C-alpha cells in the first residue's frame, strides 16, 4: 500500500509541474514579435515631414489630331409642320449621302439636335405664320484632311450651318500619361533646385495632387494663346507624326494644326 501511495503522489506531482509549465511560463513569442529599435542612422534618414517644400509642375504635349468632329446644320422653313418636316428630311438625306460619298461610314454620322419651333407674325403676336426646323448632324472624320471637302460637299447639297468643328486625338490616354510623367519630373526638378538654394536636399514625396481639368484643351491653348513665360522650368514637347500626315493645303479653309494635351501636378517634398 505504501508503494501505491508513493506512486500516486509522484503522478500528482508530475501533473502539477505540467500545469505550471503550460500556464505560468512567460509568452516568449510576444517578446520576439516586438519591434527592434532602429539605429540612429535610420532615424536620421527618415523623411522629415516638419520641413517641406511645395512645388507644381506643368507639361504640354502637342500632337497632330487624327480625328475631326464636325457639326453641320440644316435649317428649313415651311407653312405647316408636315411641310417643313418633309423639306428638312429631304435635304438632310442629300447631305448625309454627300458625306458618305466622301468616305464617312454610316456609324460615324448621327443626329445631334432636332428642334421644331413656330414662327410668329411678330414678337408680340400669337399668330403662327409658319414653322422652322433646326436639324444638326454630328460627323466623325477619321481622315482629317477631308474636313474642308466634306463641308463643301454638304453645303452643295443643302446644309446651311457649320455649328462646330473640333479636332482631337484617338490616343488621348497615351499622351495624357506622357504629359503627367513630364509634369511630375518638372515638379521634382523644381523641388531639388529650391532645396539646394536653401542649403538642403529634397527627399521623399509626402503628397501629390493633380489638376484633372488641365487635360482639357481650353480655348486659350486651342488658339495658341496663353503667356509663354509661364512655361519657364516646365515642359513642352512636340510629338512628331508616326506616319505621313497630310498637310493642309493653301486652298483648305479648315486647318487642323496641333492640339495641346496638358497635365498639371502639385507635390510636397520632405527636406533633409
Within-domain flag for 218: yes
Same domain, 187 and 229: yes
Same domain, 119 and 186: no
Within-domain flag for 28: no
| The pLDDT of residue 239 | 62
What's the CATH number where 240 sits? 3.30.110.170
Within-domain flag for 206: yes
Same domain, 129 and 207: no
Same domain, 150 and 188: no
Same domain, 221 and 265: yes
Same domain, 74 and 209: no
In the chain (272 residues long), the average pLDDT of successive 10-residue segments reads 62 66 54 52 62 91 92 96 96 96 95 94 85 96 93 96 92 90 92 90 89 50 38 54 50 72 92 87
Within-domain flag for 26: no
Listed residues 115, 136, 168: the one ending a domain: 168
Same domain, 187 and 144: no
How many structural domains comprise the chain? 2
Phi and psi angles of residue 142, each rounded to the nearest 5 degrees, phi first:
-95, -5
Tell which residue, 197, 207, 204, 262, has the closest CA to residue 234: 262
Same domain, 115 and 137: yes
State the residue range of the domain holding 262: 52-64+171-271
| The pLDDT of residue 224 | 38
Gap between the Cα atoms of 50 and 45, Å rounded: 14
Same domain, 57 and 192: yes
| The pLDDT of residue 255 | 67
The pTM score is: 0.64
| The pLDDT of residue 80 | 95
Same domain, 60 and 187: yes
169 neighbors 252 (Cβ within 8 angstroms): no
| The pLDDT of residue 75 | 96
| The pLDDT of residue 126 | 83
| The pLDDT of residue 212 | 61
Same domain, 182 and 152: no
Residues 6+ apart with CB under 8 A from 248: 145, 254, 255, 256
Gap between the Cα atoms of 263 and 272, Å rounded: 28
| The pLDDT of residue 223 | 36
Listed residues 168, 192, 213: the one ending a domain: 168
Within-domain flag for 104: yes
Same domain, 59 and 192: yes
Within-domain flag for 17: no
Q: What is the 3-state secondary structure (H, E, C) of the chain?
A: CHHHHHHHHHHHHHHHHHHHHHHHCCCHHHHHHCCCCCCHHHHHHCCCCCCEEEEEEEEEEEECCCEEEEEEEEEEEECCHHHHHHHHHHHHHHHHHHHHHHCCCHHHEEEEEEEEEEEECCCCCCCEEEEEEEEEEEEEECCHHHHHHHHHHHHHCCCCEEEEEEEECCCHHHHHHHHHHHHHHHHHHHHHHHHHHCCCCEEEEEEEEECHHHHCCCHHHHCCCCCHHHHCCCEEEECCCCCCCCCCCCCCCCCCCCEEEEEEEEEEEEEC
Within-domain flag for 15: no
Listed residues 134, 168, 202: the one ending a domain: 168
What's the CATH number where 130 sits? 3.30.70.2970
Within-domain flag for 23: no
Amino acid at each position: 500500500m505504501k508503494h501505491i501511495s508513493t506512486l500516486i503522489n509522484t503522478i500528482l506531482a508530475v501533473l502539477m509541474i505540467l500545469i505550471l509549465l503550460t500556464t505560468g511560463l512567460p509568452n516568449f513569442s510576444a517578446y520576439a514579435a516586438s519591434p527592434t529599435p532602429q539605429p540612429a542612422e535610420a532615424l536620421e534618414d527618415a523623411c522629415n515631414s516638419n520641413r517641406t517644400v511645395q512645388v507644381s509642375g506643368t507639361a504640354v504635349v502637342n500632337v497632330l489630331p487624327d480625328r475631326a468632329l464636325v457639326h453641320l446644320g440644316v435649317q428649313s422653313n415651311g407653312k405647316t409642320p408636315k411641310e417643313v418636316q418633309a423639306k428638312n428630311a429631304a435635304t438632310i438625306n442629300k447631305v448625309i449621302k454627300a458625306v458618305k460619298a466622301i468616305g464617312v461610314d454610316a456609324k460615324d454620322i448621327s443626329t445631334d439636335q432636332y428642334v421644331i419651333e413656330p414662327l410668329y407674325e411678330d414678337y408680340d403676336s400669337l399668330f403662327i405664320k409658319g414653322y422652322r426646323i433646326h436639324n444638326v448632324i454630328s460627323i466623325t472624320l477619321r481622315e482629317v484632311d477631308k474636313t474642308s471637302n466634306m463641308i463643301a460637299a454638304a453645303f452643295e447639297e443643302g446644309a446651311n450651318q457649320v455649328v462646330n468643328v473640333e479636332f482631337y486625338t484617338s490616343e488621348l490616354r497615351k499622351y495624357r500619361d506622357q504629359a503627367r510623367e513630364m509634369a511630375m519630373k518638372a515638379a521634382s526638378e523644381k523641388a531639388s533646385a529650391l532645396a539646394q538654394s536653401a542649403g538642403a536636399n529634397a527627399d521623399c514625396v509626402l503628397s501629390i495632387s493633380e489638376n484633372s481639368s488641365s487635360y482639357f484643351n481650353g480655348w486659350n491653348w486651342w488658339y495658341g494663346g496663353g503667356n509663354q513665360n509661364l512655361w519657364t522650368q516646365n515642359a513642352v514637347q512636340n510629338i512628331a507624326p508616326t506616319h505621313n500626315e497630310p498637310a493642309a493645303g493653301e486652298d483648305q479653309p479648315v486647318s487642323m494644326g496641333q492640339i495641346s494635351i496638358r497635365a498639371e501636378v502639385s507635390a510636397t517634398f520632405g527636406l533633409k
